[in-house]
Copies of this chain bind each other. A is one copy, B any other.
Amino acid sequence: MKKEKIEIAVHCNEHIRGVKDTMSLLDGKWKTLIISHLFYIGKMRFMDLKRQVEGIASKTLSKELKDLEMNRLIIRTQNNTMPVSVEYELTEFGRSLHKIIDTMGEWGIQYREQIIIKS
């Protein structure tokens, strides 16, 4: 007799699917951090963002920003000055993540001394 997956309550499945979907937008090492910076600091230029998000390479930042833009979490604005300046900011959709970011931030602060930090 093959063991089947235990059936669980519908609302649990919905929540779990919710978590999965949310994570599909925030996967990888950097996205949540980039969004956090845009959320706490606001609109930023490429190089400023790079300086804020410590340790990120241009290539990686560029790629992550494209992903985030594709998911409509941020928008890129190019000012045709010389030299061009480019600014990134959260869309309204992106800003709707603030509750998640905030909760994570608060939790991190509250439990800092209990977290074993691997650096």
* Residues of A participating in the B interface, judged by any CB pair closer than 8 Å: 3-6, 8, 12, 14-25, 27, 29, 32-33, 36-37, 40-41, 47-48, 51-52, 70-72, 93, 96-97, 99-109, 111-112, 114-118
Contacts and interface: CB of A to CB of B under 8 A. Distances in A.
Instruction: Report how many copies the assembly holds.
Output: 2
A32 B23 CA distance: 9
Given A8-B40, A12-B40, A33-B23, A18 B107 contact: yes
A19 B117 contact: no
B24 A27 contact: no
30 contacts: A3-B47, A5-B52, A6-B48, A6-B51, A6-B52, A8-B40, A8-B41, A8-B52, A12-B40, A15-B40, A15-B102, A15-B108, A17-B108, A18-B105, A18-B106, A19-B36, A19-B104, A21-B108, A21-B112, A21-B115, A22-B104, A22-B105, A24-B118, A25-B115, A27-B29, A96-B111, A99-B107, A100-B100, A100-B107, A103-B103
